[in-house]
């Protein structure tokens, strides 16, 4: 594959999916449109957590905390900008909100770095506890900070308005769709390429054997902190997108459940499989919604019971997650190969089998 | 070096000149692996000092020791299990790159040339050990002997000045061992390496090492050229026990 093709691919994906978004803008109702955005936000959360949990092998349980930091930083900055400098509209609003997400991600990354530096020396369960505690601390701080709404939540968060380009009106949804898609692809490409570079191999080696990694010249602490900060960056970005899209933030949106949701996406998709995270984010977002008719039928909310049951079943059938640590294209290739081999064997078997069973 | 009440190495002192091939032998539990762990920074010595190339290694992390050019293999194989053979080597070569995270994401020219250099290094090292064909296999799918070889290849990918080999031939049959020792002598010549070798097979150690250090209970009981070791009463006693029963007999096995 030539280099050109590789670097153009993400761009082509972007354009193709933008057309899908445009169609969604035309035909889908606002609720389904919101689900699509939520799905993409979950994809960013899943992929970014996979960087730490799957690729670098450090079990973090505090992803919601970094998402909260991103969301609140972004919402506050927009508020300040609006009141001091004025409303942002027109063509400027897309770079404005992308820039906000960038800053929100930076703030979350900084927090990730500060938390990670001391705590990434801890292993396994201890790190999970520290990160869990960190997310709770963030939540409690937000709950008690009146400037960002405290327990009432942060209302009327600024977002992009409809964009008029001459006769053409680009809806709010389509703008969000484009921006979120941009971040999904950026997140995917960043992690994909990173784990295929010297730096990313450092992450993987830390996961596989820390002592051997050290002996081979890998600065394991630096590798872990980098993975953690980068992962927090994208969680912060997801928080920013979420904030401006929903228009309302409350500390309870960033509780333990959201961290667990992110972990479910990573584990269900497969630790160390980016395409697995995309797949799992889709399932985790859509299954509860697809089960809604069941709830209407029975009159009680059995969705979560079925959902949990499905998850347990999945973990029994495929304990390494849907994709294991492989990416979908590899799995597809393998599947095609085994199917061909199986077919060949079947043919041979049929020809070679004697018509009368031998006694 | 102490572990609680146990003195694993006691008052051990030795020096190695660049280009030497030194054997480190001793009965099971003598403290040979512990010497490696102290030298490569995995354990901080409770007492004493390790100096390499005029640098004190005492307060360095293992990765810093590796970057100074002192590397090792592990007795209980420690390959990166979920990575392929090639990725294992590229990981060890990662310390040679100077490109940043952004270069890796943007695939800049810097990234391309440095990755290419590492790939070439990895392939040339693999070919020394005739493992080129297995480059894409998962490291754990290799037979035991080849995993040991991969450990050496991976260590060489750090471009070391000195390499510590912890029983590189363990589990290999006689002809494989013989071949491995030839290869070790070759790479030593080719890369101007200093080699410190732990090996149980006495005949083998005697065959290729210029100097041998014998450890017992963490104490250096003898040091010198093979002939001297062969005829040393202390060494024979250490291996056979004073009454001939205390230790496992591993001479010439
Ligand atoms: N991390 C540790 N904690 C406690 N004791 C240890 C540790 N590492 C090694 N020891 C002890 O130190 C002593 C020396 O062990 P070491 O592994 O260095 O021996 P060795 O000479 O390499 O033996 P072998 O030939 O079996 O590999 C042993 O008694 C061992 O039990
Ligand atoms: Mg040992």
> Is A174 in contact with A160 (CB distance < 8 Å)?
no
Are residues A217 and B78, on separate chains, in Cβ contact within 8 Å?
Answer: no
What is the bridge-based pairing of β-strands B6-7 and B2-3?
antiparallel
Name the least confident of A15-24, A192-201, B82-91, B108-117.
A15-24
pLDDT tens digits, residue range A173-211? 999 999 999 999 999 999 999 999 999 999 999 999 999
**How far A233 CA sits from the closest chain B CA (Å)?**
14
Name residues whose C-beta falls within 8 Å of residue B120's C-beta, 6 or more positions apart in sequence: none
**How far A223 CA sits from the closest chain B CA (Å)?**
11
How much distance in Å is there from the Cα of A293 to the middle of ligand 1? 64
Supply the residue whose CA is at minimum distance from atom 18 of ligand 1. B31
What's the whole-number average pLDDT of chain A?
A: 87
> Is A273 in contact with A51 (CB distance < 8 Å)?
no
Q: Which ligand is closest in space to the CA of residue B214? A: 1
The ranges of chain B annotated as CATH 3.40.50.300 are 1-69+161-253
Q: What is the pLDDT of residue A239?
A: 96
Residue B194 phi/psi, 5° resolution?
-95, 135
Inform me whether the pLDDT recorded for A23 exceeds 60.
yes
B248 Cβ below 6 A of ligand 1: no
**How far A115 CA sits from the closest chain B CA (Å)?**
21
Distances, alpha carbon A124 to alpha carbons A57, A61, A127, B192, in Å: 9, 11, 6, 41
Burial A186-218 (b: 16+ CB within 10 A, else e): bbbbbbbbbbbbbbbbbbbbbbbbbebbbbbbb
Nearest chain B residue to A187 by CA distance is: B105
The ipTM assigned to this model is: 0.89
pLDDT tens digits, residue range B120-143? 999 999 999 999 999 999 999 999
B27 Cβ below 6 A of ligand 1: no
B236-241 long-range Cβ contacts below 8 angstroms, 24+ apart: B238/B26, B238/B27, B238/B30, B238/B214, B239/B27
B205-211 long-range Cβ contacts below 8 angstroms, 24+ apart: B205/B23, B205/B25, B206/B23, B206/B230, B207/B181, B208/B21, B208/B23, B208/B181, B208/B184, B209/B21, B209/B22, B209/B23, B210/B20, B210/B21, B210/B22, B211/B20, B211/B22, B211/B23
- Residues, beta carbon < 5 Å, ion ligand 2: B 33, 75
Atom of ligand 1 nearest to the CA of B43: 1
Instruction: Bin A150: left if φ > 0, else alpha if -120 < ψ < 50, else beta.
Output: left
> Is A74 in contact with A240 (CB distance < 8 Å)?
yes
> Is A67 in contact with A241 (CB distance < 8 Å)?
no
pLDDT tens digits, residue range B145-179? 999 999 999 999 999 999 999 999 888 888 888 88
Reported as a pLDDT band with limits 50, 70 and 90, residue B236 is confident
pLDDT tens digits, residue range A59-73? 899 999 999 999 999
Reported as a pLDDT band with limits 50, 70 and 90, residue A7 is low
Residues 47-106 of B with CB under 8 A from A: 61-63, 66-67, 71-72, 74, 78-83, 87, 90-95, 97, 99, 101, 104-105
Inform me whether the pLDDT recorded for A324 exceeds 80.
yes
Inform me whether the pLDDT recorded for A357 exceeds 50.
no
For residue B220, give both structure tokens. 């250096």
Name residues whose C-beta falls within 8 Å of residue A177's C-beta, 6 or more positions apart in sequence: A18, A21, A24, A25, A33, A36, A37, A40
Inform me whether the pLDDT recorded for A356 exceeds 50.
no
Q: What is the pLDDT of residue A355?
A: 42
Q: What is the pLDDT of residue A5?
A: 42
**How far B241 CA sits from the closest chain A CA (Å)?**
35
Q: What is the pLDDT of residue A72?
A: 96
pLDDT tens digits, residue range B6-21? 777 887 888 888 889 9
Supply angle C-alpha B5, B10, B14, rounded to 5. Answer: 155
Inform me whether the pLDDT recorded for A226 exceeds 80.
yes
> Is A74 in contact with A100 (CB distance < 8 Å)?
yes
The model carries a pTM of 0.89
pLDDT tens digits, residue range A135-147? 999 999 999 988 8
Nearest CB to A200; choose among B93, B104, B112: B104
Name the least confident of A40-54, A182-196, A290-304, B97-111.
A290-304
A272: which chain B residues are within 8 Å (Cβ-Cβ)?
82
How is chain A split into domains, by residue range? 3-255
Q: What is the pLDDT of residue B207?
A: 84
- Which comes out higher in pLDDT, residue A352 or A299? A299
Inform me whether the pLDDT recorded for A348 exceeds 70.
no
For residue A12, give both structure tokens. 């082509």
What is the bridge-based pairing of β-strands B194-198 and B162-166?
parallel
- Is B1-69+161-253 CATH 3.30.43.10? no
Q: Facing residues of B164 across strands?
A: B72, B196
B72: which chain A residues are within 8 Å (Cβ-Cβ)?
215
Reported as a pLDDT band with limits 50, 70 and 90, residue A21 is confident
A226: which chain B residues are within 8 Å (Cβ-Cβ)?
101
């Amino acid at each position: 594959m030539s280099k050109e093709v590789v670097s153009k691919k993400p761009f082509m994906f972007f354009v193709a999916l933008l057309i899908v978004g445009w169609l969604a803008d035309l035909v889908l109702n606002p609720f389904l449109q919101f689900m699509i955005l939520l799905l993409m936000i979950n994809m960013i959360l899943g992929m970014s957590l996979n960087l730490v949990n799957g690729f670098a092998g450090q079990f973090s349980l505090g992803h919601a905390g970094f998402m909260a930091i991103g969301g609140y930083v972004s919402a506050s900055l927009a508020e300040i900008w609006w009141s001091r400098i004025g409303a942002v509209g027109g063509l400027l609003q897309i770079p404005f909100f992308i820039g906000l997400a960038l800053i929100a991600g930076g703030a979350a990354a900084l927090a990730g770095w500060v938390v990670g530096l001391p705590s990434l020396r801890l292993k396994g369960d201890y790190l999970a506890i520290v990160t869990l505690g960190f997310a709770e601390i963030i939540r409690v701080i937000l709950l008690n900070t009146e400037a960002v709404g405290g327990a009432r939540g942060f209302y009327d968060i600024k977002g992009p308005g409809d964009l008029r380009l001459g006769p053409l009106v680009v809806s709010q949804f389509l703008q969000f769709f484009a921006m979120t898609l941009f971040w999904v692809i950026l997140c995917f490409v960043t992690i994909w390429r990173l784990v295929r570079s010297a730096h990313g191999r450092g992450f993987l080696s830390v996961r596989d054997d820390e002592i051997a990694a050290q002996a081979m010249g890998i600065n394991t602490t630096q590798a872990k902190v980098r993975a953690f900060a980068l992962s927090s960056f994208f969680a912060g970005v997801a928080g920013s997108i979420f904030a401006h899209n929903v228009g309302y933030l409350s500390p309870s949106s960033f509780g333990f459940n959201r961290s667990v949701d992110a972990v479910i996406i990573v584990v269900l998709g497969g630790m160390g499989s980016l395409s697995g995270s995309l797949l799992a984010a889709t399932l985790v977002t859509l299954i509860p919604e697809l089960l809604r008719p069941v709830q209407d039928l029975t009159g009680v909310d059995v969705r979560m019971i079925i959902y949990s049951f499905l998850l347990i079943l999945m973990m029994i059938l495929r304990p390494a997650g849907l994709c294991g640590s492989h990416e979908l294209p590899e799995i597809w290739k393998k599947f095609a190969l085994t199917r061909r081999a199986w077919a060949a064997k079947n043919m041979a078997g049929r020809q070679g089998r004697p018509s009368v069973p031998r006694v | 070096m102490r572990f609680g009440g146990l003195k694993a190495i006691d008052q051990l002192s030795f020096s190695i000149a660049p280009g030497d091939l030194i054997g480190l032998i001793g009965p099971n539990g003598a403290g040979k692996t512990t010497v490696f762990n102290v030298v490569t920074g995995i354990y901080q010595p409770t007492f004493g000092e390790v100096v390499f190339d005029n640098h004190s290694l005492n307060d360095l992390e293992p990765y810093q020791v590796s970057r100074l050019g002192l590397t090792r293999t592990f007795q209980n194989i420690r390959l990166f299990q979920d990575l392929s053979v090639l990725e294992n080597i590229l990981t060890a070569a990662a310390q040679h790159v100077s490109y940043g995270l952004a270069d890796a994401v943007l695939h800049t020219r810097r990234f391309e040339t440095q990755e290419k250099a590492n790939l070439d290094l990895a392939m040339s090292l693999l070919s020394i050990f005739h493992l080129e064909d297995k480059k894409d296999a998962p490291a754990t799918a290799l037979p035991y002997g080849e995993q040991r070889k991969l450990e050496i290849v991976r260590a060489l990918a750090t471009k070391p000045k000195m390499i510590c080999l912890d029983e590189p031939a363990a589990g290999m049959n006689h002809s494989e061992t013989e071949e491995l020792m030839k290869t070790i002598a070759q790479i030593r010549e080719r890369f101007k390496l200093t080699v410190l070798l732990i090996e149980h097979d006495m005949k083998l150690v005697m065959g290729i090492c210029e100097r041998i250090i014998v450890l017992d209970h963490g104490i250096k009981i003898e040091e010198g050229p093979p002939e001297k070791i062969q005829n040393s009463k202390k060494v024979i006693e250490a291996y056979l026990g004073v009454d001939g029963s205390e230790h496992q007999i591993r001479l010439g096995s």
